[in-house]
Amino acid sequence: MKKPGAVKALTNLGRVRLSPHFYMREMLYSEVANFHKRPNIPDRPDLAITAGEKLCNELLEPLRATFCHVSIRSAYRSLELNRFCADKGYGCARDNRARHTWDCVDKQGYMGATASIVIPWFVDYLAAHREKSWTAMAWWIHDHRDRLPYSELCFYPVNAAFNIRWRGDQESKKAQPEYLIKSVAQPKGVLTKPTRENFAGDHSSEYPGFPQLTTH
């Protein structure tokens, strides 16, 4: 039996405004949860909100300001739902703490939040530049890492979707990024990380025609 007031509490959680253009409700949506009739509710909503605010304000809002629209494909997954997805073979990593599971810290004690997103501008860009791939967006974000403190990017084959993660300290709320870029879309594998020779330097030749980053 559902606890009294649970629907009201969930409604209020969904109304939380994480940033100027993003609300918690769209982050809680899950096709798996809907289809299998399983809840997708944080055990620690305050931590989920704090991590979500950092993800939205420091990463998603600048992307939206630059590319006009960011579509949320998947974002928050509860610990229970994520385990269910992993057991069912739906492509979820078994350990998503401080990633898709926003209300759990990772093994190092850092909080974090991940969203899977689609940027329609980039879908159109790839259609017009057949010689380019997901690496164009990856290098663009990477070259702006001083203002886009991403911790991890992972790219997928459909609609040029990708995961973008914010990771940081619980007390200071400052980003502690790992700067890992990888892909399951072609070309697969790790594109860069701090130990790679290609990590530093300018990669602007990889993304001709991209707009200047807008942060407001």
3-class state of residue 3 by DSSP: coil
Q: What percent of the chain has pLDDT over 70?
A: 98
Instruction: Determine how β-strand 71-74 pairs with β-strand 111-118.
Output: antiparallel
The predicted structure's pLDDT at residue 215: 81
**What's the rounded mean pLDDT across residues 102-130?**
97
Q: Is the peptide bond before 187 cis (omega within 30 degrees of 0)?
A: yes
Instruction: Determine how β-strand 180-183 pairs with β-strand 162-168.
Output: unpaired
The predicted structure's pLDDT at residue 2: 52
pTM: 0.95
* CA dist list (Å): 138 to 15, 47, 79, 205: 32, 28, 28, 13
Give residue limits of the domains in the chain: 20-206
The predicted structure's pLDDT at residue 190: 98
Q: For residue range 18-60, what is the model confidence (pLDDT) as tens digits?
A: 999 999 999 999 999 999 999 999 999 999 999 999 999 999 9
The predicted structure's pLDDT at residue 91: 85
Taking all residues of the chain, what is their mean pLDDT, rounded to a whole number?
95
3-class state of residue 183 by DSSP: strand
* CA dist list (Å): 16 to 23, 46, 121: 6, 11, 27
Q: What percent of the chain has pLDDT over 90?
A: 92
The predicted structure's pLDDT at residue 3: 60
Q: For residue range 118-129, what is the model confidence (pLDDT) as tens digits?
A: 999 999 999 999
Determine the Cα–Cα distance for residues 109 and 87; give it in Å rounded to an integer: 25
Residue pointed to by tokens 């530093």: 200
- pLDDT-based confidence at residue 1 (cuts at 50, 70, 90): very low
The predicted structure's pLDDT at residue 110: 98
The predicted structure's pLDDT at residue 115: 98
Cβ neighbours of residue 72 closer than 8 Å, sequence gap 6 or more: 22, 26, 27, 29, 115, 116, 117
* CA dist list (Å): 172 to 152, 167, 175, 194, 200: 20, 12, 9, 23, 27
The predicted structure's pLDDT at residue 160: 96
165: burial class by Cβ within 10 Å (0-12, 13-18, 19+)?
A: buried
Q: Which residue has the higher pLDDT, 8 or 194?
A: 194
Determine the Cα–Cα distance for residues 55 and 3; give it in Å rounded to an integer: 30
Side-chain half-sphere of 177: how many Cα atoms within 13 Å? 23
